[in-house]
Amino acid sequence: MGHWVLDDIPWDLFDRNKVDPEMVRIVKAASLVEYNGVAYAHHLCRIFSDDTEFQQKARGWGEEEIQHGKALARWAAMADPEFDFEAAFARFQAGYRVDFDLDVSRRGSRSGEMIARCMVEVGTSSYYSALRDAVQEPVLKEICGNIAADEIRHYKLFYKNLARCGERERIGFWRRLRVAAGRIAESSDDELAYAYYAANEAKRPYDRRRHSRAYAAHAYQLYHKHHAAHGVTLILKAVGLNPHGLLARTASRLAWWFIRYRATQLARLTRPSSH
């Protein structure tokens, strides 16, 4: 049982005047990615095939991700009654394929898988916190607040399980760092770009670079310094480094510089031509 249900959302406070059309586009894309959580939960249950305790937690986690998808999809349909979630999700599933039937982790070990999952939850918790702080529309603000709180708990769930895995399989620092960096780099892979395309532009052909930029251009604008700092703290903790020392402060500064740089660069690249 999750910490909230769809009926807890004050849907009747929806305020059309505070809807930003570009926000609707990224919310539609996010709803598809979140709703796909069930496939990841299935994959985790295969990787931890002899661990019924963790399997149960993974299923609960998958259900919460699905609820994120449902809440975002319902809000998107209020903002744009023409949004057909089922059709968009079918397009997303047909075009974005990952082999979820593997029973070993692509990260080489169970610990590696947990580090990768932690990185995803760092990304989502920072993202929904930034979205919650940026949006004006009250219903979406509430949804993002609930989701952000869930994503932090998800991080803790995987972090705790990482410690459990570490009792049986030790993976060295450099391996941890490599898995973490690899998963962060994958954030710019097809998943979000394809979701943005499937949710918003299905009549045109998929263009990975264009759709990836379209999604990221809006997402990068949302962040503030404290979102970056919080994300860095969680990343360092997961790879086994001190999350509060000089390294953390330097890494935060670098992360913030990078986010500003990317936001400016993406804004320039995606600006419609005046000709």
List interacting residues with Fe ion (CB under 5 A).
34, 65, 68, 121, 151, 154
Question: Do 55 and 41 meet the contact criterion of CB atoms below 8 Å apart?
Answer: no
Q: Which is nearer to Fe ion, 60 or 245 (CB)?
A: 60
Smallest distance, Å, CB 228 to Fe ion?
Answer: 19
- Give the number of other CB atoms < 10 A from CB of residue 161: 23
Scanning the chain, the segments in alpha helix (DSSP H) are 21-35, 37-47, 52-79, 85-95, 110-134, 138-168, 173-185, 190-200, 208-222, 225-239, 246-270
Smallest distance, Å, CB 89 to Fe ion?
Answer: 15
Q: Which is nearer to Fe ion, 137 or 151 (CB)?
A: 151
Q: Which is nearer to Fe ion, 117 or 213 (CB)?
A: 117
The span from the CA of 44 to the CA of 103, in Å, is: 8
Smallest distance, Å, CB 222 to Fe ion?
Answer: 16
Smallest distance, Å, CB 248 to Fe ion?
Answer: 23
Smallest distance, Å, CB 36 to Fe ion?
Answer: 10
Q: Among all residues, whose Cβ is closest to Fe ion?
A: 154
Q: Which is nearer to Fe ion, 34 or 113 (CB)?
A: 34
| Residues contacting residue 163 through CB under 8 Å, at least 6 positions apart | none
Q: How is residue 206 annotated by DSSP?
A: P
The span from the CA of 141 to the CA of 133, in Å, is: 7
Question: Do 161 and 114 meet the contact criterion of CB atoms below 8 Å apart?
Answer: yes
> Tokens 């590696």 sit at which residue?
112
Q: Which is nearer to Fe ion, 32 or 266 (CB)?
A: 32
Smallest distance, Å, CB 173 to Fe ion?
Answer: 25
Q: Which is nearer to Fe ion, 25 or 68 (CB)?
A: 68
The span from the CA of 221 to the CA of 266, in Å, is: 9
Burial of 177 per CB tally in 10 Å (0-12, 13-18, 19+): middle
